Structure 1
């Protein structure tokens, strides 16, 4: 049984989601503020956090920043009424594992919960993937480019790792979206292109080639 923390100040939504998750076989705790959420996470172990952005006082982005700053890698799905790409990027860049915009269907949330719990249960790779002067240390989650250390956000790192696990292969936008952001993420989003642009700026423009009409390839 997985233990899930819901951080949501709208009682109606928190009750609805909690009831559905319990019916699906999960243990659920509910809190309505960021401060209480951090206290709960410090006191107990959770498998996943469903985190609302629009919390009173400390908002969801700030909770996530504190959480990741302490090295806590618990899976986080963010909920928000704000559907802009900038907010999505901010949440994912801050270390969120998934992002869902209100209003949402419970079936979609449940599918994302299952996907994130599967990801958490998957054994971590211990190898250090490298190709064409780029290498990643999976243990410390640091990147090196031509011998120099480069800072990558959590999502940039995940995208770089996907390329390095498939060097010189053409990866479609759909493949990258599913592997880095998870099944169920909006297929019409251009977030893959946005993050490829970010990654090119850090790894080198020439390293990630665009294969027109297909996707992208990490070139040596």
Structure 2
């Protein structure tokens, strides 16, 4: 991906930029709102990582200007303002996702991967296939081979989100937010419990590679690829 990183804290900017480049992304950096807005309107970016509290021009002003001039780049906002009202304001202004500080680099990268693919699935696809497993998005049914797998509604939501991001690491925080609607990550084993149950249903008694993997220290990945 081609990414614009607009962040005034030099240490944070250097840390995030190095992490993104280490994963093969192209990164341009900016330290204030005016320069960030200028770069965003002069170049085509896949994703803009935008700090909310910026000198010269704050992140909300940058975001509103970008959307008013028709910039289609996905925008992930970073901010120390993690309350619900601040999040809603950012999303209503056109942000595609919102990540509070402090944050883990793996969480940031997982969210960037997610929003970069968002919009390419649900409006055009009626089914998803991962290996020999098929999800019918209309009837909300799951088959692996010739066998139907019966899921509870929450298990379906969990599997669908993982399938939409197949072969990508999905963090627990992302699942809590997008499957359960939580805006924070409480100390709970809710995700792990549901993943364990889902894993049993989609893997038990089936031949072939395991599909729902735990990525230690990061989250989960749904994949038909062999280890």
The TM-score with structure 2 as length reference comes to 0.57
Residues 186/32 of structure 1: CA separation in 2 closer, same or farther (3 Å cut): farther
Deviation at 1:67, TM superposition (A): 0.5
Aligned to 1:17: 16
TM-score, length-normalised on structure 1?
0.59
Q: What residue ranges of structure 1 are gaps of 5+ in the alignment?
A: 127-164, 195-220
- How well do the aligned residues superpose, as a CA RMSD in angstroms? 3.6
Aligned partners of 1:193, 1:124: CA distance in 2, in Å? 22
Distance 1:193 1:31 in 2: 32
Instruction: Give 3-state SS (helix, strand or coil) of 1:91's partner.
Output: helix
1:64 paired with 2:53, answer: no
* Bigger radius of gyration among the two: 2
- Give the aligned length: 154
Q: What is the rounded CA distance, in whole Å, between the counterparts of 2:116 and 2:19 in structure 1?
A: 16
Stretches of structure 2 lacking an aligned partner (at least 5 in a row): 125-136, 140-152, 163-169, 184-227
Q: What's 1:187 paired with? A: 176
Partner SS, residue 76 of structure 1: strand
User: Partners of 1:186 and 1:100 in 2: how far apart?
Assistant: 14
1:134-187 Cα shifts (integer Å, max 9, x gaps): xxxxxxxxxxxxxxxxxxxxxxxxxxxxxxx979xxx76x949x69xx974472
| 4+ runs deviating over 2 angstroms | 122-126, 182-189, 191-194
Match of 2:109, SS state, is helix
Shift of 1:84: 0.4
Counterparts of 2:111 and 2:40 in 1: how far apart (Å)?
Answer: 21
